[in-house]
Structure formats: C-alpha cells, structure tokens
Amino acid sequence: MKRIGLLTSGGDAPGMNAAIRSVVRTAIYYKMEAIGIFRGYDGLINEEMKILDHRSVSNIINRGGTILKTDRSDKFRTVEGRRRAYEAIKKNDIDGLVLIGGDGTYRGGYIFNKECGVPCIGVPGSIDNDINGTDYTIGSDTAVNTALEAIDKIRDTATSMERIFIVELMGRSSGYIAINAALSGGAEDVLIPERKYDMRQLCQDIVAGNLRGKVSWIVIVAEGVAKAGDIAKIITETTTLETRVVTLGHIQRGGSPTAKDRILATRLGSEAVNLLRKGMSAKAVGVIGSKLNIVRLGSAVTKRSTAVNSLYRLIKILT
C-alpha cells in the first residue's frame, strides 16, 4: 500500500477534519502518500484530488465541517459512475480508500469494493449516531452539545415568560440527538422516530402539570417525527396554552468538535490506515466501550437504532 485516497461524503459532521488529519499523518508516518479526494464520490469520479502533506492538515483539528468538502453523489449510485471512479483510482495509482461518512457513504463503499475490489475502510462520520458496529459516530457528541446549549437558552425565556416551547432537532430516522439533548437539557417530553407518540397523552400531561402550577415546558421533537409547528398547533388547540416553536436545523451540523469527537476521530482515522496497511478491506472501524471495534463494511451499512426506552422512561420519571 503506497498511496491512500480519502474522502468525506454525505452530511458533514464536526470532527471530520480531525479524522482527515489523523488519516493523513498516520499514512505519512508509515511512509505512504495520502491523496485527498474533494466533494465525496463525485470528486472521485471527476478526479478532483490532490496530495495532502503533513502541513496541509495543520490547524484543522478544532474546525467543524470538512476541508475536503462533501456531497451526496447521485452519479456514484450508477454502474457508469462507479466505473468512472474505478478508472480514476487506477489512473491516480490509489491502492486503497478511507471513506469518512454515514450509512450512505458505507453503502457506496461496500458496492464499489464488491464490484472493483478496491480496498475500502469506513470511518463513521455522522451527527445521527446510527451506524452499526460503533457506540458513537464522529460528530454526534458535538451535535448533542450544540442542541443542549440551545435548549438551556430556550429554558431561560420559557420559564421567564411561562410558555411551552416545541424544539425541533435533527434526525430524520434517528432520535439520538433528540433523546440525549432532552435528557441532558431536562426537557419534559421528546418525540422520536424510534417510539410511538401519543398527542392526547402529551396534552393531558401538560394540562395536569398546569393545574399543579407548572408553567413552562420544553418538548423536543426529532425532525423525522413531525414539524414542530404542527405539534405546537395541536397543543395550543387542545390545551389553550401559549406555545412557541424553535427549529434548530443545520446549526447542529457545525461548530468546533468536542474533545470526545476529536479523540474518536483521531483514533478511528489512524486505525483505518492501519487496517489498509495490514491488507484488510471492506471493513468499518468504530468503538465499543473504550475499545476499537472492527466490523465488516457490509454489516455496518444497515442503520443502528438508538436504545431509547430506558432513557425515555427516565425523562418521564423526572418530569
């Protein structure tokens, strides 16, 4: 293995830059060349790439986003797109790929490896924390902390003006950010894709709380469940209480990564290079507990769902 290609693909996540730095510097340490591929799989198809030296990844460990840019490639979903990507790999003497991204990135790498045999290693980068084979994905801790910071601020105004706030957080099919931000932010309820919700019960809880003298509420809703505005409308119509809506949106994808995300990214980026050096292919790296964990890329492409029931119960006990 002389030359390793690396790319980031799918939604960006804080800590991707720390992973890039780790891949590049580990490769250089072992006398290999690292070639950065820009704009995900599209950049591979279009041969948008350049050699990254030690200095090119200086001062990025603390930066959100990805210096390699990222994209969700439609072309790479086609046989023709992947054929062109393979040609680019051969032409540029790339011996193996490190793919930093979420389940879509993994699926692309899995098919590509099956079709062309190019060694591929997946590094989990996604705020959603929904990838098999790892307890955490790079970016998920930062996203929860970003959401928490917002909830803390919302609480100040919610209690002062005695209002009900519905806060919409990211997660189309994953309630990881929502339930963890709800638990750490002391929210009264949370609506997530992994769990059926009951609007009647929620409204009854609010009315009962109101009769006890409880005057402000924070209800978190994951974007995949419903629009915060629709939930607020039902609450106001049913309880006659005043509601306000906050949709946090892409703020959750940005910002300087937490120490936890940087450490994870640094460990996993380096391990991905180690696996390629050892001749391994079609694997994904992760952590289980405090230990590194290696799984087949094929088994990591299916989404993992957050274990939510005990966390949800705790939120309701404490409300």
Q: How far is the CB of 304 from ligand F6P (least distance, A)?
A: 14
Q: Which amino acid is at 120?
A: C
What are the phi and psi torsion angles at 127 (to 5°)? -75, -15
Q: How far is the CB of 171 from ligand F6P (least distance, A)?
A: 5
Q: Quick check: 172 binds ligand F6P (CB under 6 A)?
A: yes
Region binding ligand F6P by CB under 6 A among candidate stretches 165-173, 192-200, 211-219, 227-235: 165-173
Site for ligand F6P in 202-241 (CB under 6 A): 223
Tell me the Ramachandran region of residue 139: left when phi exceeds 0, alpha when psi lies from -120 to 50, beta otherwise. left
DSSP state of 258: P
Euclidean distance between the first and the last CA atom of the chain, given in angstroms as a whole number: 56
Would you call 55 exposed, middle or buried from its count of C-beta atoms within 10 A (0-12, 13-18, 19+)?
exposed
Site for ligand F6P in 30-89 (CB under 6 A): none
Q: Quick check: 170 binds ligand F6P (CB under 6 A)?
A: yes
**Is residue 261 among the annotated active site residues?**
no
DSSP state of 65: S
Non-local (6+) Cβ contacts of 260 within 8 A are 136, 141
Q: Quick check: 24 binds ligand F6P (CB under 6 A)?
A: no
- 102 vs 133, beta carbon nearer ligand F6P: 102
Q: Quick check: 142 binds ligand F6P (CB under 6 A)?
A: no
State the catalytic residue, choosing from 12, 128, 189, 205.
128
Count of residues in contact with ligand F6P, rule CB under 6 A:
9
Q: What is the Cα–Cα distance from 147 to 157, expressed in whole angstroms?
A: 16
Q: How far is the CB of 126 from ligand F6P (least distance, A)?
A: 5
**Contact footprint for ligand F6P (CB under 6 A):** 11, 126-128, 170-172, 223, 253
